[in-house]
Each structure stands twice: as structure tokens, then as C-alpha cells.
Chain A
Amino acid sequence: MPTTTIAGQAVEVNDEGFLTRPDQWSDDLGTELARLIGIELTDDHWKLVHFLRDDFAHQGETATLRRVSTQTGTPIKALFDLFPGKPAKKMAYVAGLPKPKGCV
């Protein structure tokens, strides 16, 4: 498994650069992961990132965009505004989780 150094911390990543060990993640690391993809985290971002972390802990898989929207009551449009372009993948990356597997 390749490793890379983010915020002075060595973390394991897959061949796309997503963290592979959720236990290596912390809020500080999340802040830096977001910065690396051009996002400055606000409270609105954190609410979603923490939801993803909690949901992953319970479900064992990363929530899809629809699940994030329905479970947190955040409109889809807002998700695209907060994590532009590829919201589901960017959110998962910042939360230190695998990209979602679900289709919808």
C-alpha cells in the first residue's frame, strides 16, 4: 500500500490517493485534505464530513450523495456548491473514506 505524507503525517492511500485507513484520519488531517483539493472547510462542510464519518462507522460504506442529502437535510444543490464538480468523491476524500460505491 503506498503512503503519502499529509500535514506531516504518513498516511496509507490507494492508487487514486484516497485514504485507506479511516483510523488515520483526524479533523486536522481533514482540514489539510480539503485544502489540498482547494476547499476551505466551513461549519457547513464540517457538518457533512462528520455525518459521513459517523455514517461510515455504522454502515461500513461511504454514503452516496443522495444519502448525504436525505439524511442531513441538505439540498443537492448546496452539496454541489460546497464540494464543486464531484461532490460525492470530494466529500469522501476529505472525510478520509473510500469513494462511494452506490449508483444513486
Chain B
Amino acid sequence: MTTETAPTATTAPFVPTFDAPESQGRKLAIICSKGNLDMAYPGLILANAALGEGVETHLFFTFWGFDMINKKTSGELKFTMLGNTATHMPQGLGGIPGMTHLATSQMKKAIADLDVPEVPEFLDQIVASGGHLWACRMSADMQHLTETDLRDDVEGIISASDFIELTEGAQLLFI
């Protein structure tokens, strides 16, 4: 890879390979199945990173992941200590009224401090970067939601088979 020169007029400059043929055509599919604030971010961050690397990226929202693209809930995702031993706090604390609200505010502040956008704005950025958003047909039917309930940039409510078909050859992440 490296070129130890001998700078002469005939030496070709050593330039990064941004558009290497082997990285062309790479595709990533991310299935977002969670509606908690803390579980919304991994998919968003990875999608954003992949798009920044020129990878064609599709996000499929299913089950609780619908909260990420439902206009009513997208900006209102919450973080709870309950059932999450990684907070290393007594589980009983998580059940105190107002604790989920507090934990959510703290997490939102920590995320904002890193200049990472909130969920709706992050999805705006992902779509602006060329990312594709898809909603799960069965989840829509279960929750009695239609396209009008979802972000306008969701490209469609599609079946699981449709999603598998359109992500042929893609690497896949389930979150």
C-alpha cells in the first residue's frame, strides 16, 4: 500500500482509494425492532456511518421499532432503568414514579452533548444521506397504523418477504 519515495516526476502520487471497486455495491439492511430511546440509537448510528461510507442502506422498522417512525412517538422515545441491569442501580429505583422521565432526560442530554441529533432529526439526516426507510406490514396491521401515521419519507409499508427481496445480497443487522 505505502509508497516510500524517491520523489521523481514519474512517481505516481499515493492517493487513498475512496472508490475501490471491491467496496462498490455493498448493501446494508438494518432491522429496527425496539422502541426504547437507548435501543433506537445503535441502528441510527450504524446506518449513518454506512451511508457516509457510500454503502446502500435500508432500515426496516418492525414491532416496537415502529415508535421510531410513528410521527406521534418518534420524538418521545424513553429510556428506563427497569429490567436494565447495566445501569448498576437497584432495580427497585426504576419503579419509582418519575424515574423513567428522569432517566430519559439524562440520556437525551448526554446524547445532545455529543452533538448527536434526536431521533426524528437523525432520521432526517439518514434520508438526506440517501438512506431508505421501510415499515413492516404486520406491525402496521397490529397497531392499526397507516402511511399517514408515519414519517412522510417512509417509502412504504411492506411485507417481510418484500424486504428480504429488496435487500438481496445485503449484510444484515437485527436490533
Contacts and interface: CB of A to CB of B under 8 A. Distances in A.
Contacts of B1: 15-16
Of all A-B residue pairs in the complex, the 9 with the closest CB atoms, nearest first, are A4-B14, A5-B7, A76-B128, A85-B54, A17-B16, A2-B2, A77-B128, A36-B15, A104-B116
A43 B13 CA distance: 25
A37 B13 CA distance: 11
Contacts of A70: 115
Interface in B1-57: 1-5, 7-8, 11, 13-19, 45, 48-49, 52-54
Given A70-B115, A75-B128, A103-B45, A4 B13 contact: yes
Contacts, number: 82
A38 B48 CA distance: 24
B18 A89 contact: yes
Contacts of A3: 4-5, 7
Interface of A: 2-6, 10, 13, 15-18, 36-38, 65-67, 69-70, 75-77, 80, 84-90, 93, 103-104
